[in-house]
Structure formats: structure tokens, C-alpha cells
Amino acid sequence: MTKREFDFIVFGTGYTGSLLAHHFVQEDLDFTWNIAGRNQLKCKSIAQELKELSNNRLDFKPVIADVTKPETIEEMCKKARLIINCVGPFSKYGEVVVKSCIENKTHYLDINGEPQYINKMFVKYHEKAQENKVIIGLSAGFDSVPADLGVQLLKREMGEGSILKIGGFFRIKNLKMSNGTYKTLINSLNPSPQERKETREIKELSKKQNIPQVEYLDTKIKDKPKGYTTKVAGWSKNKEGLGGFAMKFSSSDPFIVKKTQILQDATKKIPSFRYEHYLMLMGWFEIITNFLKFFLIGVLAKWGWGRKVLSWFESELGGPNEKQRKGSYFNATFVGTHEDGKKFKYCLSGPDPYTSTAIFIKHTLSSVLLEYDDLEIKSGVITPGCLGKVYFNRILDDDSITWKNLEQKKKK
């Protein structure tokens, strides 16, 4: 890669993009970097905050880039070795950045959690990214690093032998959504006619190309490995002895976990074991409030008048403040089962999802920019787990992230 003006650029001045930039300044990263966005006044305001936070050591001159003006995206991509894309919903605004990064041989990371968009990027750009030796790293934030990393680490702990299934049980304390997350959720529940058309076209295109594929919900997969069920919803009380209620949860995480399995061995047509993804709810109050929240959003998002009602709440969802973030955290318990019935139980935990996203992105970009030659997969449209041991060790060495054996603690 030719020498660039910056090592990386954070693209997007919304809640998450701004949070990432502030986190990187506080971490005092040893990179040359910058911010980018379409609103010049907002970019300047954030740049001034970052300058003051760094005690005037850093002097940012933001790059102005707008997804509706592809030429500005191209100019941005030419300036950096890596782009961190925080502009969503990605199904609407992400493709132009991915395409420009590949054409300009610039690595790419994003924080998306949109399964259909993820599949589209794999089908359309995987081979071209490989040709240009570019990493297009999807879902490198809280969606979907904890799930992907947890499964990869548990596989390492379980060692040799046939893994029957792995369950990921996520507990998120005091989660408050940002405006961008809220918009993405509403958009995913009610894709536009154009997005539906694109989804159908991508399915047809995927049948013609030799790209490792994975069905999002598994219901159509034939010749499944032992234990590979097709149940995609349901509740379980005190599942795996974890207490509370486990709700089977549809998100991008199962898709990413399965995609990692296939990308690690392109000879596979389907994953070798089942991954089940759950949201843990502790008590009836959490169950009822979460059910009502997602039920109402799901119903209202399907109607024009309903989306107008939902939009009234957007301005109230700027994102959790520092105090709210400090009062939040995540625990992800992974339970693995061998064919012989032996079980392994480990827990991955860390701060709130937004702070964790900043931590994951920091280690991802560091792995790509500093340890590229040691990565397990060095090009293509990839998942976080494909980066391998170098990346895993970076995250495990972070004081904010813990990985512990729950069965070992239980035996003591």
C-alpha cells in the first residue's frame, strides 16, 4: 500500500463516531489519524473538542465527505490506509464506502449489525477485495465481536473433538440505544421496496458465484451436522443453569459466527456445529418491558404513520451519556457441548456496548495496521474472528475485557 496522509480516518460524526474519536484521543494512539463527515460545522466542533482533550497536542483538520457525493468518499479513501465507517443505516449508506475502499486499496472497518447488508457485501465484493489485497472488516464493534470472539475462544478451549453446539447467552445491563442504533432498527424492520429487490437479486447472484455462503436462518439447509436444529425462536427458563429467561434472539451475531466458520475453511458448505444466540432477561419486569418495546417498534415500523410516531423519539435518543455508560456492562456466557456430552462454560465480559465498540475497533485497526503479516486471513470481506490469534490476544490483554472459566470457578 502506498504511503498515505493518515493511518486511519473515523468517518461519521454521529454518536458512535464521535465517541470513537474521543476514546482514541484519550488512549493516545500512536497513529496519524483524522475525522470525517458531511457537516462541516459539526466536524469543526468535534475537532475542537478533541484538540482540547489532547491539551492542544493534536490539531485536527476534518475531511469533508458525504455518501451522496461519491467523489468526496473517494478523496477520503485516498488519504488513509484504513477507514472506520460509522455512517448508518449501512444498507442505505455503506456500499459506496466499501466500493471506494476496495478501488483505492484502503482497508475498511465498520460497526454494522445488518444481516442483509452483510450478505450483500460478501456476495458483491469478496473476490474484488481479495484481488486488491484489502480487508473489508464487517461488524467490528459490539455487533458482532463478543459473539464471534467468544465462539472462537471457546473452540480453542474445547480443543480437539467434534463440537456439537455452542450457545451464546448475552446479558446487557441498563442498555440505552443511540439515535443511529434506533434508526437502523426501524429500517431493518421495514426495508424499502428497493432494498427488498436488492435482497432478491443478491440471493440469485450468490447462486452463480463461488463464494462461501451461509443461510441466515438455517431452515433450508440440508444434510445438517448432528445436533443442527432449525428452531429459531423460543424461551427457556434457567437454561444451562444461568438463571432468568433465555430468549432466542435474531441479530447479525449468529450470521457472523457461522460466516467465520465457513471463511476459515472454504471447503465447507455449512458450519460444522450449531450456534444458538440468546438474550438473557432477569425477572418479569425485564421480560414484559422488553417484549412491549420490541413488539410496539415492530408493529409501528410497518406503517407510514407508525414510523412517524417512532421518529418523534429520535431526538430523545442522542445516546447514553458518560454516567449512563459507566452504569452499564455486558456479560456473554458461552456454553459448548461435545458430542460425548462434555460441557465447557466460559464468560466474556466488558463495559457498556458503546465503550466496548471503541475498545474492539481500537484493537482491530491496530491488528490490521501493525500486524497485517501475522493475520490468519489478509484480504476479502471478512468477519472479526477471521483475524485470528494476534487479534484475540490483543483483546484479551485489555484490562477492560475479561474471559474466565465458569466451570473451574464452580469446582473450587
Are 339 and 385 in the same domain? no
The pLDDT of residue 282 is 83
Q: How many domains does the chain have?
A: 2
Domain containing residue 36: CATH number: 3.40.50.720
The pLDDT of residue 356 is 97
* 283 vs 304: CA distance, rounded Å: 34
Are 368 and 322 in the same domain? no
Are 10 and 120 in the same domain? yes
Are 219 and 322 in the same domain? yes
Are 178 and 218 in the same domain? yes
Q: Is residue 241 in some structural domain?
A: yes
- Burial of residue 237 (CB within 10 Å: 0-12, 13-18, 19+) is exposed
Q: What is the pLDDT of residues 116-175, one digit of tens each?
A: 888 889 889 999 999 999 999 999 999 989 999 999 999 999 986 788 889 999 998 877
Residue recorded with cell 468535534: 46
Domain containing residue 242: CATH number: 3.30.360
User: Smallest Cα–Cα separation from 16: which of 179, 188, 186, 171?
Assistant: 179
Are 83 and 169 in the same domain? no
User: Smallest Cα–Cα separation from 172: which of 194, 199, 143, 214?
Assistant: 143
Residues of the chain whose pLDDT is less than 50? 212, 215-221, 230, 232, 411-412
Are 291 and 302 in the same domain? yes
Q: Is residue 104 in some structural domain?
A: yes
The pLDDT of residue 291 is 75
Terminal-to-terminal C-alpha distance of the chain = 52
Decide the pairing of beta strands 63-64 and 80-85: unpaired
Residue 224: strand, helix, or coil? coil
User: Smallest Cα–Cα separation from 135: which of 164, 177, 102, 168?
Assistant: 102
Q: Is residue 1 in some structural domain?
A: no
Are 157 and 211 in the same domain? yes
Are 249 and 339 in the same domain? yes
Are 115 and 174 in the same domain? no
The pLDDT of residue 68 is 96
- Burial of residue 412 (CB within 10 Å: 0-12, 13-18, 19+) is exposed
Q: Is residue 184 in some structural domain?
A: yes
User: Smallest Cα–Cα separation from 75: which of 43, 98, 100, 40?
Assistant: 100
Are 137 and 104 in the same domain? yes
Q: Is residue 173 in some structural domain?
A: yes
Q: Is residue 83 in some structural domain?
A: yes
Are 338 and 304 in the same domain? yes
The pLDDT of residue 411 is 46
Q: Which domain holds residue 68?
A: 6-142+356-393
Q: Is residue 111 in some structural domain?
A: yes
